[in-house]
Structure 1
Amino acid sequence: MSPAEPGPDRVLPVTRVVALVIVPFLVAAAFLLFVFPARTGELFAWAIAPPVSAYMLGSAYVGGIWFFLGVAVTKRWHRVAPGFPAVVVFAGGLLVATLLHLDRFSQNLSFSTWIVLYATTPFAVAWLWWMQRRSDDGRLDVPDSRVPRPVRGVMLAVGAASLVTGAVMFLAPSLVIPFWAWELTPLTAQVLGAVLSLPGIVAIGFLRDDRWSSFRILFQAQLVSLVAIICSLIAGRDALLWDRLATPAFLALIAVAFIGYATLTAGMEIRIRRSVKNV
């Protein structure tokens, strides 16, 4: 059996179904956050201000759409496996933030949908990962390539910076709010912290797996999300507080992350194509 065909390393039908169920909710949420940021209190689960905070959450959903569509169509489990722990941490963080700030949420259909989704998604995704955790046979795709150790080290450093920033924002929002690049509430600080955890948890996957095929879909999703974040920062630039040190620091982190992800993605794809030509 070819390594590229379904076998031990396969995505189970139930995993595909859950991914397809999640996608429409992500699409709807991203649409509301990007198109109606000033009406989030009415149309979304809670009133989010300034709009740049709504855009940032929407950017995470845009990346999630790409990822879960990848889960639904890919043949091999290892191609999406490193993304599942990141989704569990992100969704679990939003559930905790919701329970800590229930008084901030609107009593509408969007909130009912929100609470049901985040009360179930982290557990459902964790269960799917647990079921599939031994599916990976460790083989390379055809074609595929190993990510060089120095490159993995750089990506781990970028991911660690994002993860530490996100953890501080989530665990101690009151420490971050006075210094952040725009005005935050404890709830939006924790939500943004959960968003920033995503690339950090993904990067941890490099500690045990160096196959580019394990990260191609994830890095594509991260690039889509980063492009959305950059557009969000441009659209919401009026809310940026340039007298705060966190503003240039955060913008630099986003720029470095985008350059890093784009360079690695392009470099690995070129490397694979060259290896195919040399066969």
Structure 2
Amino acid sequence: MMNTGSSVSLPLRLWFGAEVFFGLAAILSITIAPQDTASNFAWTIKPTVTAAILGAFYASVAPIFVLAMVARRWEMVRVIIWPAIVFTSVELAATWIHWDKFRVDSGSFMLWYASYLLPPPIFLALFLYQVRRQVTLPALEPMGKTLRLTLCALGCLFTLEGLYSFVRPEHFTANHAFEVTVLTARATAGWIVALGLMMVSMAWEGARERARIGSPFLILPLPLLFLQMSRFADEVDWSHPRLIAAFALFAATSLLGLWLAKGNWRSSLS
């Protein structure tokens, strides 16, 4: 009999649904109306373009959790888990470090706090449960060595940049194309880490059908960041070298995502 891998457990599927809820709440607030963070978000973000940038990342990652909800096999969603654990841990650390900046008596904050306090232990527990049940599944669409090395190299670059910016936020705040606070710099750094670890996780899996579900998170940041920043173009120095370099890196990431998205989606979701 053909080895079809192990199924996604019901608790993990339900938690993916919870992540979709958290993501939708963020999109309805900070993505759609970044100018209203004083009333619709966990803290007031200024300038508005930096809120819009965070909103772009929330919109970029949302599709992968929707896809994960409908995927049937654990091997096809495994690529998401460790990036999610590390990302939510980084955002939780930023919350604790800058506790005084948050509107802790607001419903928006409680939703924010729950969305980062709960995922690390829940994802870790569900990961360990799934690992005990998993079986060896050969790659249907093995990645070539060049693709794996490219994903690993670019992923490590993003991850290290994000971690350094979290530890030393002045690296991000002192010389950028727009003004940014230390808290927003650390929150953004978490997203850079998440994107980097997603690419490393894809390279580790070594199979395109297992990486495909994460490809929207590679494809979407470039167009969504440009769209969100364009809404508040007067707050951005479009000729700044760091912005140009960042867009070049996101362009490379988007191309990798488009390449990974090609192929048989049925094999990744069924």
Shift of 1:76: 0.6
Is 1:149 aligned to 2:145, yes or no?
Answer: yes
Shift of 1:151: 1.1
Counterparts in 2 of 1:172 and 1:223: CA distance versus 1, 3 Å = same
Counterparts in 2 of 1:80 and 1:174: CA distance versus 1, 3 Å = same
Q: Deviations for 1:29-69, whole angstroms, at most 9, x for unmatched residues? A: 11111222111011111111222322222223223321222
* Aligned pair partner of 1:214 in 204, 207, 210: 210
Partner of 2:251: 255
Partner of 2:136: 138
* Aligned pair partner of 1:198 in 194, 197, 216: 194
Partner of 2:164: 168
Partner of 1:76: 73
Shift of 1:208: 3.3
Q: Deviations for 1:110-160, whole angstroms, at most 9, x for unmatched residues? A: 01221122211222112211221244423247xx31110111111222212
Is 1:159 aligned to 2:155, yes or no?
Answer: yes
Q: Deviations for 1:185-216, whole angstroms, at most 9, x for unmatched residues? A: 11000011000111211122245321111101
* Aligned pair partner of 1:57 in 54, 59, 82: 54
Contact persistence 2:89–2:120 (CA under 8 A): yes
Partner of 1:276: none
Contact persistence 2:80–2:214 (CA under 8 A): yes
Shift of 1:85: 0.5
Q: Name the CA distance, whole Å, in 2 between partners of 1:105 and 1:2.
A: 53
Amino acid aligned to 2:17: L
- Between the two proteins, what is the percent identity of the paired residues? 24
Counterparts in 2 of 1:209 and 1:25: CA distance versus 1, 3 Å = closer
Partner of 2:10: 13
Counterparts in 2 of 1:221 and 1:245: CA distance versus 1, 3 Å = closer
Equivalent position SS for 1:138: coil
Is 1:31 aligned to 2:28, yes or no?
Answer: yes
Contact persistence 2:157–2:196 (CA under 8 A): yes
Shift of 1:243: 6.0
Is 1:234 aligned to 2:230, yes or no?
Answer: yes
Equivalent position SS for 1:153: helix
Question: Any unmatched runs of 5+ in structure 2?
Answer: 266-270
Contact persistence 1:240–1:247 (CA under 8 A): no
Contact persistence 1:181–1:250 (CA under 8 A): no
Q: Name the CA distance, whole Å, in 2 between partners of 1:159 and 1:236.
A: 29
Deviates more, 1:70-79 or 1:126-135: 126-135
Q: Deviations for 1:78-135, whole angstroms, at most 9, x for unmatched residues? A: 1110111101111111100011111111231101221122211222112211221244
Q: Name the CA distance, whole Å, in 1 between partners of 2:70 and 2:136.
A: 20
Counterparts in 2 of 1:135 and 1:180: CA distance versus 1, 3 Å = farther
TM-score (norm 1): 0.87
Q: Name the CA distance, whole Å, in 1 between partners of 2:228 and 2:47.
A: 11
Contact persistence 1:168–1:176 (CA under 8 A): no
TM-score (norm 2): 0.89
Counterparts in 2 of 1:238 and 1:164: CA distance versus 1, 3 Å = farther
Equivalent position SS for 2:78: coil
Q: Name the CA distance, whole Å, in 1 between partners of 2:23 and 2:171.
A: 30
Amino acid aligned to 1:77: W
Deviates more, 1:158-167 or 1:191-200: 158-167
Q: Name the CA distance, whole Å, in 2 between partners of 1:218 and 1:179.
A: 31
Contact persistence 2:205–2:211 (CA under 8 A): no
Question: Any unmatched runs of 5+ in structure 1?
Answer: 274-279
Q: Name the CA distance, whole Å, in 2 between partners of 1:174 and 1:92.
A: 21
Counterparts in 2 of 1:126 and 1:238: CA distance versus 1, 3 Å = farther
Partner of 1:40: 37
Deviates more, 1:216-225 or 1:107-116: 216-225
Q: Name the CA distance, whole Å, in 2 between partners of 1:25 and 1:208.
A: 28
